[in-house]
Amino acid sequence: MSGEDRDLGTVFKNPGGVELDEGLRMGLAKGILWVIAAISVGVIAAHGISDSKGFTEAFELIKIGALPLVTLVISFYFPKSH
């Protein structure tokens, strides 16, 4: 990669930067939420079936981390509230 400077105005046509349209943003948010839901359900089911310490640790991680991730994805989809 060369050390020359680039004008981002020529790379991105929109002066505000890169923007996603609503349909693409909704699809991205839905996809992320479905993946988080599938992982959460899988870990919870495995924790219920097995008494393994690994599943217990993963269950705690999901329990503590899933809600902030869902909140982050939802806040990405609704960035402004006017």
Q: Provide the 10 A C-beta neighbour count for residue 25.
A: 15
pLDDT in tens, 45-72: 888 888 788 878 888 888 888 878 878 8
Q: Which domain holds residue 39?
A: 21-77
pTM score, whole prediction: 0.56
Domain-embedded: residue 1:
no
Above 60 in pLDDT, residue 1? no
Domain-embedded: residue 30:
yes
CB-CB contact of 47 with 58 (8 Å):
yes
pLDDT in tens, 5-53: 767 666 666 666 566 677 887 888 788 888 888 988 888 888 888 878 8
Q: How many domains does the chain have?
A: 1
Torsion of CA 82, 76, 45, 52, to 10 degrees: -130
CB-CB contact of 55 with 43 (8 Å):
yes
Q: Write down the residue that tokens 């079936």 correspond to.
A: 49
pLDDT at 9: 66
Domain-embedded: residue 9:
no
